[in-house]
Amino acid sequence: MAGVSGRTGMWFELLGSVTDIETIVAGNSIRGVDRLKKRYGVGRWRKRKGFGKIRLADGTICEAEIHWNEAHGIGKKELRVKHLWEEAIE
């Protein structure tokens, strides 16, 4: 799964699965929930975060904290990188 991080416009590719997943906020408390419903459909929207290994556009592989929006039956939408850590050792 690939994405472009929101504000920075940084392209990345998710390598493997996301771990340590937590729900940050759910329902109408999500900023922009009306936009999500309009763009992707009605569902129980949740803002979630987790950690995973990503590949950046220049080929660098890093560990990152990833945030996204998700609804049952719709899936993960709008993945973005919030924090990067040192290069991952392969």
Structural domain for 15, as ranges: 2-87
d(Cα 34, Cα 43) in Å, to the nearest integer?
Answer: 11
What pLDDT does residue 57 have?
86
Count of domains for the chain: 1
The better pLDDT of the pair 69, 86 is held by 69
Closest listed residue to residue 38, CA positions, set 12, 16, 69, 6: 69
The better pLDDT of the pair 47, 84 is held by 47
What pLDDT does residue 19 have?
93
What pLDDT does residue 5 have?
53
pLDDT at residue 6 greater than cutoff 70: no
pTM of the model as a whole:
0.80
Three-class SS state of 29: helix
- How does pLDDT run across 28-62, given as a tens digit for each residue? 888 899 999 999 999 999 999 999 999 988 888 99
- What strands lie across the sheet with 2-4, from one edge to the other? 2-4, 11-26, 46-56, 61-71, 75-87
The better pLDDT of the pair 11, 37 is held by 37
